[in-house]
Chains A and B, each alone.
Chain A
Amino acid sequence: AQKITQTQPGMFVQEKEAVTLDCTYDTSDPSYGLFWYKQPSSGEMIFLIYQGSYDQQNATEGRYSLNFQKARKSANLVISASQLGDSAMYFCAMREDLGGSQGNLIFGKGTKLSVKP
């Protein structure tokens, strides 16, 4: 079974609108971390935001917020006020702190976001 699932291969959003990128995860490890990375066409992976499994509040970083619903095992990324520069691939990743992946990141297949002017 896939540990990280991103069900939206591609998304469109109008400039200045908010968009939600979906991510669900599967783990039995009580301690884990969830990450979102942005990959522009240049290829570099840019870290956006992190949520720990024990964090009480949803993480926020500027225009990025992570909608963490632990019982549903979802960690959706919300981008507010989209900009043309937000057009990129977005990857959700999980780190299991105690389990078989030995603390290494497991990546989803990504969502391609296109921002329309």
Chain B
Amino acid sequence: DGGITQSPKYLFRKEGQNVTLSCEQNLNHDAMYWYRQDPGQGLRLIYYSQIVNDFQKGDIAEGYSVSREKKESFPLTVTSAQKNPTAFYLCASSRRQLDTQYFGPGTRLTVL
């Protein structure tokens, strides 16, 4: 089945620890995205990548880092510099940047 997978679904970490969220797609899409969603809010863009080995900051990139070494993978690291990391994180991909974005199931991160 083609789609986007994110793991794990739930993640708990202690304050001050870095954590990496996985996002994999087998849709052969060039572009991938990471969003953050807080309760009662819409999605805000963290980082995006239009092509392998290239990525750009979104609206709220501070405290996050990404890599895009393979077309199908776009992991997000939430660093200890992110002041309020507890949130729901959604990964998306699109064939090209201006095409429709399709989303993964999300990872709910709780920092204790």
A→B interface (CB under 8 Å): 4, 33, 35, 37, 42-47, 50, 91, 93, 95, 97, 102-105, 107-110
Q: A42-B105, A44-B105, A47-B101 are in contact. Are A104 and B45 (CB under 8 A)?
A: yes
A104: chain B residues at CB < 8 Å are 33, 45, 48, 58, 97
Complex: A50 Cα to B90 Cα, angstroms: 20
Convert B66-83 into 0s and 1s, putting 1 for each residue whose CB lies closer than 8 angstroms to a CB of A.
000000000000000000
Task: Please pick, from B40, B56, B105, the residue contacting A43 in the complex, using a CB distance under 8 A.
Answer: B105
Task: Please pick, from A47, A97, A105, the residue contacting B45 in the complex, using a CB distance under 8 A.
Answer: A105
B→A interface (CB under 8 Å): 33, 40-45, 48, 56, 58, 88, 90, 92, 97-98, 100-106, 108
Task: Please pick, from A43, A47, A109, the residue contacting B102 in the complex, using a CB distance under 8 A.
Answer: A47
